[in-house]
Amino acid sequence: MQELSVRHLLGIKDITPQDIQLIFETADNFKDVLNRPIKKVPSLRDITIANVFFENSTRTRLSFELAEKRLSADVINFSSSSSSVKKGETLLDTVNNILAMKVDMIVMRHSSPGAPHFLSNHIKANIVNAGDGTHEHPTQALLDSFSIRERLGDVAGKKVVIIGDILHSRVALSNIFALQKLGAEVMVCGPTTLLPKHIRQLGVKVELDVRKALAWCDVANVLRIQLERQQMKYFPSLREYTLYYGIDKKMLDSLDKEITLMHPGPINRGVELSSDAADSHHSIILNQVENGVAIRMAVLFLLAQKQ
């Protein structure tokens, strides 16, 4: 059986195109499982997985937990808001205490970029990065590319634009790495204040006009404005942002071709996307959520082989 080239999934930057294809092929099999009347397999029956979340999460946390339970793993959930972290315990001590209970894998989200990389140098358990600050969110990028492959047949040669708050987004960076490794052309679009200064060095196109970006692309992945990460005002108001960068169904229908609309969630309806666009036939947003479980099952299953 093929196996991954890495022991941990810390970021898309660290894995090969072959790893991504293996994850996709494994996810195809698990998607079949999820569509059966009995949606469970005993693949990880003797594995214990801890979900260690130092930041708020709904979709990612539920998706990982469901993936783990579908694989018959034993699951423990940790939330920093109700833990000894509030009493001053360090990250390493927290995780070592969890590992002392004989946990095999850690799924971790943390507000500090590089936190999973730091842990991987100090513990033996496999680590899956469920988002580290504004750095990477590898499983989101994998499920996004998997959803494009499912909708359009292949990712290679497709034109994908990422629109919105690129500066504060871990999804944008992971998506850029994943799409480029799979042979897609990538463009970013947003106000100059929300684009990283040296973004072109990643080999992406930059466009400031959302209408031109939509006319260019096959797929538009729209990001929300991450107000919780912003320490200052990057644009005058949400109303003005919507005026220049909001996407509605009228705009999509005016294009001379059919494009696919994506969003990693949560959607701020009426800001980056209108409700009629988010719920239109262009949108594969709920397919992304469904594919997230299959992708995370594949990642957990393949990493468990590297125990």
CA distance 275 to 77: 33
**Which residues does the annotation place in the binding site for carbamoyl phosphate?**
59-60, 109, 137, 140, 265-266
Binding site residues, as ranges? 59-60, 87, 109, 137, 140, 170, 224, 265-266
Find, among 83, 89, 126, 90, the residue nearest to 107 by Cα: 126
Which amino acid type is present at position 190? G
Extract the tokens encoding 198: 């040296």
Q: ∠ CA 271-272-275 to the nearest 5 degrees?
A: 75
CA 5 to chain centroid, in Å, comes to: 20
**Is 107:52 a contact under the CB 8 Å cutoff?**
yes
Cα–Cα distance between 267 and 151 in angstroms, integer? Answer: 21
- Residues 255 and 252: their CA atoms lie apart, in Å, by 6
List binding-site positions for L-aspartate: 87, 170, 224
Considering just the CA atoms, what is the radius of gyration of the chain in Å? 19
